Amino acid sequence: MWVAGGWAGAQPAAAWCIVQVGDSLPDIKLDQLEDGEIKQVSLKQLFSNKKGILFGVPGAFTPGCSKTHLPGYVADREKLREAGAEVVVCVSVNDPFVVGAWGEAHNAGGKIVMLADTRVRGLGASGMNDVVAWRSCLPTRSHGRCAAFSAVVEDGVIKSLNLEEGGGMTCSLSNQILSQLKQ
């Protein structure tokens, strides 16, 4: 529900940001389904003293994300590890049960950390002229979906960032970020 200053329950406008290369990851907690229980995971802590990949998708079980994005990262996990990725994290604006089931359906267990931004904590929302516009600590697009993106993160700092334009699926794919990971 929209209230003066933002959506009820969302972060204050001052906390919203768009991350850029060189920025530290925002200290947000996202949901992960583990052994049937939902636990809160600090995005910043996941990358503390580690090098890895953070990627976001518009939605679990959507055609492009299910045919290309997640399967690519699962298939390329060993190559990504050899190139230095200690952790690979996927974020989607779905509930943790859906994100968990999606990861399970694609054999992501032990390879990809599957996180849900259920309450749009990382992807805070604001209203503008009765049209929902999404502002984000992570890249987003309209209608509350996460934009397809990928980033190399080292010790909590964004080293490279790839944001898809217009629903494309090129620069955020696992094979595209591999060369950036080696830098």
Q: Which of 64, 79, 85 is nearest to 148 (CA)?
A: 64
First-to-last alpha carbon distance for the chain, in angstroms, is 44
From CA 43, how far away is CA 58, in angstroms rounded? 18
Whether 65 is catalytic = yes
Considering the candidates 17, 65, 137, 171, report the single residue annotated as catalytic.
Answer: 65
Question: For residues 20 and 149, is the Cβ–Cβ distance under 8 A?
Answer: no
AA letter at 182: K
Q: Pick from 77, 56, 38: which is nearest to 137 by CA?
A: 56
Phi and psi angles of residue 99, each rounded to the nearest 5 degrees, phi first: -60, -40
H/E run at residue 179? helix 174-182
Q: Which residues are the active-site residues?
A: 65
